[in-house]
Amino acid sequence: MSNKQIPYHVGLIIDGNRRWAKINGKAIFKGHKQGAKVFKIVSLGLFERGVTCVSAYLFSTENWNRSKKEVSYLMGLATKAVSYKLSDFNKLGIKICVIGTRDNLSKKVIKAIDRVEAKTAKNKRGTLLICFNYGGRQEIVDATKAIVRSKIRPEKITADTIASKLYAPDIPDVDLVIRTSGEQRLSGFMLWRIAYSEMTFVRKLWPDVTLEDMDNVLLDYKNRERRFGC
């Protein structure tokens, strides 16, 4: 598969960790732990297959509504991941960027995020964009606030103006969105950047996803004819 047939930016809506745990008679935390392992395998595999940018929806602003115990576990898992588990990405020259609001995040989590972003800032091979404490509507609200603070005259505001105020504005639009677990909704993922994205919904729960599944998705993408409003 040539690079021209590979999506530049793949967005992952990771779904099904909790259901996987319940089906397999395991604690919910085991589902998240297994999901983290699969995330590393799949995202590294996508980069190895020629994808330049991988964005992953790992924790939404709505996820705070889960139990305190589960949220605490997810925060700890995220801290460990960005501190110790993402070294393979750095070795491959992958830049890691975490987007979302920092409201409600602990100092420990923020420190871990700042550390991994600084450590990988000069990497050029590709970008892993982690959507953490992220909401698509909130991103657009924050972009709007940034435009107001910039005092740009209304008649001067264009789509490019808004795009320049998004989180990580250098990241291009998403070419392909993949959601697992059989659910067919976007849940607020990258609302601005997915205007013309191709969509694929995989029935498997995230912890059961394999690189073979990703190969099948990429093959399907290759055979599609993308249209941008034409």
User: Which one of 24, 63, 88, 175 is the catalytic residue?
Assistant: 63
What is 7-135+174-222's CATH topology? Undecaprenyl pyrophosphate synthetase (3.40.1180)
Active site residue 220: no
Q: Is 24 a catalytic residue?
A: no
177-203 pLDDT, tens digit per residue, is 999 999 999 999 999 999 999 999 999
Structure tokens at 173: 């639009």
* Closest to 11 in 3D by CA, of 172, 219, 211, 145: 172
Given this model, what pLDDT does residue 3 score? 46
Q: What is the pLDDT of residues 63-89, one digit of tens each?
A: 999 999 999 988 988 888 877 777 889
pLDDT at 221 over 50: yes
pLDDT of residue 87: 82
Residue from 47, 1, 12 nearest 176 by CA:
12
Higher pLDDT, residue 82 or 17: 17
- Res 230 pLDDT > 70: no
Confirm whether pTM is higher than 0.75: yes
The single residue of 15, 17, 133, 208 carrying the catalytic annotation is 15
Give me the amino acid identity at 6.
I
Q: What is the mean pLDDT of the chain?
A: 93
Domain residue extents for the chain? 7-135+174-222
